[in-house]
Chain A
């Protein structure tokens, strides 16, 4: 049962992520709306763009992938924007997010350990080299992940409850989401401390999961509850605004940094031309689309003054 639940949650997670990515990726190409600094520009350090050059369209553009990485990596790992612009929030948000990254690493270590175990590698405090390393890495990362995630979420919840502005903007789900993470951290810590301090049970479970041994006994009690909760949270995240962990890519690459220039005969121009053929349904007097006119019709007609 627990195995099926975990597989199910994983499938839901993947389906929702794929659906959201597909939905965002297949939206029409929009008008440019970049915001400087654009990280791949050669003068990104002060926010300069290719427009600063005479006859910019004749010049070969030098864009830098490294420039993007220089912004993206500290942003993702250290939450640089929050650190710069909202320091007091960062003290709560950073542990929470870093705890989640560690959580992902923790799961990866458990799966890796499970697979290694299936190939006969012994893992434990008295195991040799790799097994010993895996044992300690899993233990340190696991406790750090649960601790940071829980403390961060608690900090965020307290702030959301006590700051009148944040409270005014919060819906029930915003509290619920944080409570879920706190609960997960508490259940995880209780499970680990009371019955699985070396994460042996969890590793055995991930081994069975990874090798599809569904008849192996599944953990019960606190550890079973921990697994069920973590799976449910995994399935839930992409359906919420927390999906920003992957949609942020679009925010940056498809909007803030999307400075692709439309050139005559380019595929981009082809997409624009086809979108200019979309039928318009706006009904104000100066448009009166009625699904009869295309954007080209609208743009080339002289609008009627108000009736």
Chain B
């Protein structure tokens, strides 16, 4: 049974601060009414003994327990040093103003909590309130940055500055998808997602603590090898050759991807995860661009064939390094614009966040593939037969592209043209819910974290998908969730597998370009094969 948490107890050591009982989870609609989630896989005793796992039912970071009280103190002091740096303009000009505004003006009204899918689907567990981690940081800020002394306890409340506080707070910063739905509803404009990101940043930039999926296997790998997938430029080209061959055979249209074409109009950057996990997506892009006669290219420069930029989720320095590599590749080729493939965080990283990082001749125009695709679909250059897509389709709005960039309609206008049974999820557009894999969670599955992504953070999206297809209960009728974002697709893939949704409901998922190619009359029918694995 959940119980109310106080802020003060966050700093007090205990075996586990918060629990989500399976009974607390909000029941799902048919055909999952009556479905009971499996119990949490209990973290192994050795894990509990050696790592900091005292926040909730899962653990992401597996921070080793300090060996002595002295080490605990040192780490806590280091956190305070980082906290102080977070509020200096030299160290954090990038987000200082929004951060100070959010730190100093929360009225603690809890309006934002009811906007958060993580909080709601957990059955209203206090630890997942958007405000909970924010309030802890706020109290530490007033005590250790604004140096409010003893008075700060009276005016802003107390929380102990202990290693337990730090270890739990880092972990808790990774229970938020950074979807900013909560920020949208705050009457004052406070942004608790930003606060979660800034906690992550402080820990990465000062303490060197970040999930390995984001750091070692993420940005560091991308900066050294070229991609978070581990593919170097030779491997990626080889893989794309395979994709070209496969696509040519499947579609009957001869295809050859373009690499390093100087002076091309468009440099297309995919999330390289697509090449490995959903090869039909980059294949479909190539086919559409060729058919439309677009002058385009891919780049084999370091990091430029992978639009991933996990720095967006946790670290400004890593963010800037990767954004620079993307821009430098475009500059080297002399392209007119960079086009972001179907990857939400790539969109936001390149087009919005990097906007105030890239200066001079690195400031090359950057555009969404959704917009280019709409132009192509409208141009009449592709012969399209919507009846080839005559099955129920719904659209998932990737938060990064929609709520955080305002690209809402182009993808819908395409769907309305090519998918006769398109229907919206509720709510949608800028009010959408995150898939539950946002801010890098979709690539995180260590320990039992994948369970948390399914049971808690992804539950609202699964619910929305079921509701969108409520009128189509027959599992033999394939239904398609168009999720034009690699990260979201990863999460939706895992959700469907967890719930056996393909068998039980007939649910399938994929991107936008696949639907376009499926409707092209120049392509052999049946490009999308719902019977295949």
The residues of A with any CB-CB pair to B shorter than 8 Å are 24, 27-38, 41, 43, 46-57, 75, 79, 81-82, 84-86, 89, 93, 164-166, 168-174, 240-241, 243-244, 247-248, 250-252, 254-256, 261-264, 268-269, 272-273, 275-276, 278-287, 289, 295, 298-303, 305-306
Contacts and interface: CB of A to CB of B under 8 A. Distances in A.
Contacts of B109: 82, 86, 89, 93, 166
A251 B105 contact: yes
B194 A33 contact: yes
A30 B223 contact: no
Bin chain B's interface residue count: 35 or more
Interface in B150-166: 153-157
A47 B4 contact: no
Which of B135, B188, B215 neighbours the largest number of chain A CB atoms within 10 Å of its CB?
A: B188
Interface in B184-212: 184-191, 194, 204-208
Given A30-B94, A54-B372, A282-B317, 13 more contacts: A29-B97, A30-B93, A33-B98, A48-B406, A48-B408, A51-B407, A169-B131, A174-B108, A280-B91, A284-B206, A299-B324, A301-B321, A303-B220
A244 B101 CA distance: 9
A273 B351 CA distance: 18
B359 interface: yes
A168 B95 contact: no
Contacts of A272: 356-357, 359
B115 A85 contact: yes
B324 A53 contact: no
Contacts of A50: 406
B430 A273 contact: no
A243 B187 CA distance: 14
B194 A282 contact: no
A52 B409 contact: yes
A287 B205 contact: yes
A279 to B, nearest CB: 6
A86 B111 contact: yes
B264 interface: no
B107 A244 contact: yes
Contacts, number: 275
A31 B356 contact: yes
A278 B405 contact: no
B528 interface: no
A69 to B, nearest CB: 17
Interface string B413-444: 00000000000000001100000000000000
A241 B205 contact: no
Contacts of B365: 55, 57
B402 interface: yes
Given A55-B367, A169-B110, A170-B157, A283 B206 contact: yes
A56 B363 CA distance: 14
29 contacts: A24-B97, A27-B97, A29-B93, A29-B97, A30-B94, A31-B357, A32-B353, A48-B409, A49-B407, A52-B371, A54-B367, A54-B371, A54-B372, A56-B371, A81-B187, A82-B109, A172-B157, A240-B155, A241-B107, A247-B105, A248-B189, A275-B93, A282-B85, A282-B205, A283-B81, A283-B206, A286-B215, A298-B320, A302-B321
Nearest to A271: B356
Interface in B341-391: 351-353, 355-361, 363, 365, 367-368, 371-372, 374-375
A303 to B, nearest CB: 6
Contacts of A41: 406
B110 A166 contact: yes
Q: Is the interface of B mostly helix, strand, loop or mixed?
A: helix
B90 interface: yes
A307 to B, nearest CB: 10
Given A36-B404, A38-B406, A169 B108 contact: yes
Nearest to B365: A57
Nearest to B151: A173
Contact of B430 (A46, A165, A254): A46
Interface in B109-157: 109-111, 113-115, 126, 129, 131, 135, 153-157
A38 to B, nearest CB: 6
